Chain A
């Protein structure tokens, strides 16, 4: 979330699309309803009518996988009716940037497409630069090659008639949603979006979110209270785990995993440190080497020295142009190249797309270590449905982990709040916390490497001292994450003693004098104490629910990021009532003469862009400080699949042609080629669109909820929801067991025949859609009859993230 949970209450219009907050984030509805009580409109857009929809002022449906068409229509509506916030767009976004002549869009392809590799040469999308190397801009937004003009041209095709034919949403509903949401472009109004996996799990997942981010920029909704782009995380600490590099392509704090071509620390830092020639661009990532070196110091401590590149050579590099994502890992495991596997707090046998492939892949392992609270479908895959235990050689080790409440530590929630939690009961039996298990594992591996090994340096040089009296100590890890001064050093004119905690990331250095295991969290545990353990319920002076001394929030306790965009160029808030920050420096002769911001922690404490008399300042910075050029990116030349979003059909869809352009599916989406990767699109054997989702009563693969009798009582069986029309067509009775099948597998479900699903009219044809929750697995309930919906889902995904496309695929439903 750019904003945070409580901030939803400040919104004037809440769009819930690609998520089902009432069911899957029930507590968020407290804030949604607070906003509604103050007059905010709630819009729910979902293929089926949900518990969220039941509380919405406006509900409408769209066919799964057509969000870009739906939102692209909104962009056209906003531009046609000039409802965008012109001052914001002209000053804070890259709408005025001039795009080079090499950028083109034709037949559904952007310039630079290389069909052989299914990749783009992104250099074709570059901005025109002036003689100083700063992007050329036309703040009047009139130049025909400026981003706003190109945007208008790109989305001119997205008229409501065509959008309706693609999405199946009635035109009148489209206009109702567009009009209501676009009203937040007015000065002082804020609109917010709550999204989740309904947007991400597509071959166009990243571009779904980009489309919305662009709308938020056009309407001036970024950085303001009640605005932002808000990802609702599906697990209490998934934000924290992402921040600390859960994903293969990043190091902690969103630093890059080094490529093989980054042959030295200098080459690595040079490659990933952006350069801006604009003196008004903060270009915050210019500090990259300070963060990467401090991270290496935290890994290797005293062993990391300038002479050995701080141990850079000891860390693994990934091959250029390859990927190591979930889908690829299991593809390689299926092909037999991966022999050992830790399944840590995960249940891939049920959670991964194309579960039959995933389960089969595990047969090729020599060993698997399953770290979890309970045995699950993954640890017991070898005795699952269709498996022959006598022919499976994989040795499975089960390490029992304790429950979250049995250990001390922090979680970071969707709103980026790091919250310390004390230990409740002691771990049950011989179960241990993850920290204990990792520490012991590290010690054992070090012991083994002491006897020799092919490449022992990374292991032997690893700093591994996060214990007190032989026990794992969460505080030591939290302090390491924050970082220390590694020697007496003078920073900002102040002597900092060796071994003391770094006050914030502004103090980190690239010379080895500081450590920090995650620069974004530098400020969370300082000499003042554990900031995340704070519990003050006193609000900030703006009274918008920031509660700055409750827990701690990255970065540097800033509760609403990009908040420099919530003020006009003179530093005064667009929204006088629910303001986030305001500049309160002294004024002399129409000029600011002292620096002072009040409210939230500002996104950098520089002067505003303009003085009260309207003169420009040279010591100011553009508000989007994490972007190289300091502007919000309406044109995003860094994405794998294009600088503007474009509607492509899902890998499996019900229509033969994309009505928007000549490419049926995302031309850069990864496609896997094993015999388990079957895809069938527009095939009469699989005529119905399907999607997967969650219910309030279960969690993730259901490992913690399916064995819970009270929850199983509420949702005892996997079900498939369908319209009354489809029920009638196929003769299904409500509550009867049916078989859902796709090109990859079959699943027995209970049919819920409901008014909450309606058939779509797509390009003149009736298209039916169904939906299935994915929480089940054969291990529990005891019947073994309730299986995972991922047996049906395809192993393809987004080209940027490789998140699988489990939200739109084709199935059939038949009588049992």
Chain B
């Protein structure tokens, strides 16, 4: 059974414990930041920042809201980055967990890297100084050892949840029903397509530019379409080997 997250933003208080826990577990360096007139920091996801709590002040129905959105890789069920790379040694899907793992993106050339970045419907992968890519890895080393991801372990309010996909889908349905009582427009974002399901109270784009897939139906790039066409051949080839 693959794994999924439910990120219930109606419960998120933006304490940002998840953001720090992510850096701590992956031993990622802090970025040199300045206060840009907002609490949100760093300014964007990066090669060294896999998780970033977006904080937006939005007036909705004449009422001020402070919307929080812990942004991270969605671990898509049909992942365009993986398809675009077309090289399981560079990017693969871990069958047990469903995690999309950037294993060895050194194998990809600069054009391929750019293409992968552009292919992501959520604008997640980030390129490092050495030209490789980085993003959330679902704390796969923790998960295969029976732990939940670091961000989930640290969350005090139940905004971050993790478990078997069927359990998370059930929880998402339950939490959505709870949220709808207070927020009639509450919804789950792209629940069928991703392993990281967000529950939001309002329109997704108010939370974060790339909260929802850039095209509701997963768009297929030309290169991807080509690769999909030739895939049966490569599969046969690998079997022959």
Contacts and interface: CB of A to CB of B under 8 A. Distances in A.
Contact of A735 (B36, B68, B157): B36
A38 to B, nearest CB: 11
A603 B34 CA distance: 53
A37 interface: yes
Contacts of B64: 49, 59, 755-756
A749 to B, nearest CB: 9
Contacts of B158: 30, 33
Contact of B157 (A33, A709, A712, A734): A33
Nearest to B22: A710
Contact of A752 (B13, B14, B19, B35): B35
B35 A750 contact: yes
Contacts of B13: 22-23, 26, 29, 51-52, 54-55
Given A715-B41, A716-B41, A30 B66 contact: no
Interface string B55-96: 001010000111110000000000000000000000000000
Contacts of A22: 13, 15
B41 A713 contact: yes
Nearest to A39: B181
Interface stretch (B23-31, B144-152, B227-235): B23-31
A441 interface: no
A696 interface: yes
Interface in B119-158: 156-158
B24 A734 contact: no
Contact of A710 (B11, B23, B65, B68): B23
Given A696-B16, A697-B16, A710-B24, A752 B178 contact: no
Interface in A729-778: 733-736, 750-756
A754 B57 CA distance: 8
A714 interface: yes
Contacts of B24: 710
Contacts of B35: 715-717, 719, 735, 750, 752
A712 B32 CA distance: 9
Contacts of A715: 35, 39, 41
Contacts of B67: 54
A714 B41 contact: yes
Nearest to A52: B13
Contacts of A711: 20
Contact of A714 (B11, B20, B57): B20
A756 B64 CA distance: 8
B157 A30 contact: yes
A5 to B, nearest CB: 11
A695 interface: yes
Contacts of B16: 696-697, 714
Contacts of A23: 13, 15
Interface residues of B, number: 34
Contacts of B33: 712-714, 716
A54 B66 contact: yes
B39 to A, nearest CB: 7
B39 A751 contact: no
B57 A735 contact: no
Interface in A290-326: none
A37 B65 CA distance: 19
A751 B35 CA distance: 9
Contact of A750 (B31, B37, B157): B37
Nearest to A752: B37
A37 B178 contact: yes
The main secondary structure of chain A at its interface with chain B is mixed
Given A22-B15, A714-B16, A54 B68 contact: yes
Interface residues of A, number: 39
Max count, chain A CB within 10 A of own CB: residue among B24, B32, B57, B156: B156
B238 interface: no
Interface in A23-43: 23, 26-27, 29-30, 33, 37
A30 B8 CA distance: 13
A710 B37 contact: no
A33 B31 contact: no
A806 interface: no
Nearest to B19: A714
Contact of A49 (B11, B30, B38, B66): B66
Interface in A700-728: 709-717, 719
Nearest to B63: A59
B42 interface: yes
Given A54-B65, A696-B16, A709 B57 contact: no
A53 interface: yes
Max count, chain B CB within 10 A of own CB: residue among A52, A54, A709: A54
B153 to A, nearest CB: 13
A603 to B, nearest CB: 31
A734 B158 CA distance: 33
A52 B66 CA distance: 10
B163 interface: no
A710 B15 contact: no
Contacts of B19: 714
A695 B14 CA distance: 11
Contacts of B65: 54
A734 B37 contact: yes
Nearest to B67: A54
Given A715-B35, A716-B33, A756-B57, A33 B68 contact: no
Interface in B152-195: 156-158, 178
A711 B19 CA distance: 10
Contacts of A33: 11, 157-158
A715 B31 CA distance: 11
B70 to A, nearest CB: 13
B150 to A, nearest CB: 12
B14 A51 contact: yes
Max count, chain B CB within 10 A of own CB: residue among A22, A37, A716: A716
Nearest to B28: A710
A201 to B, nearest CB: 23
A751 B66 contact: no
Contacts of B23: 710
A714 B38 CA distance: 10
Contacts of B32: 713, 716
B29 A709 contact: yes
A240 B178 CA distance: 39
A143 to B, nearest CB: 47
B207 to A, nearest CB: 12
Nearest to A53: B66
Nearest to B23: A710
Interface in B5-19: 11, 13-17, 19
Interface string A787-815: 00000000000000000000000000000
A753 B41 contact: no
A751 B37 contact: yes
Interface in A603-622: none
B45 to A, nearest CB: 13
Contact of B156 (A30, A719, A756): A30
Nearest to A27: B156
A711 B178 CA distance: 33
Nearest to B16: A714
B156 A716 contact: no
A695 B15 CA distance: 9
A52 B32 CA distance: 28
B156 to A, nearest CB: 4
Contacts of B156: 26-27, 29-30
Contacts of B14: 51, 54, 696
Given A710-B20, A714-B33, A756-B66, 16 more contacts: A22-B13, A23-B13, A26-B156, A26-B157, A51-B68, A52-B13, A54-B13, A696-B14, A696-B15, A710-B23, A712-B30, A714-B19, A716-B41, A719-B35, A733-B37, A753-B37
Complex A-B, nearest 4 residue pairs according to Cβ-Cβ distance, in ascending order:
A735-B37, A734-B37, A709-B30, A54-B66
17 contacts: A26-B15, A26-B156, A30-B157, A33-B11, A51-B13, A54-B65, A55-B13, A696-B16, A713-B42, A714-B19, A734-B38, A735-B34, A736-B37, A750-B35, A750-B37, A755-B57, A756-B64
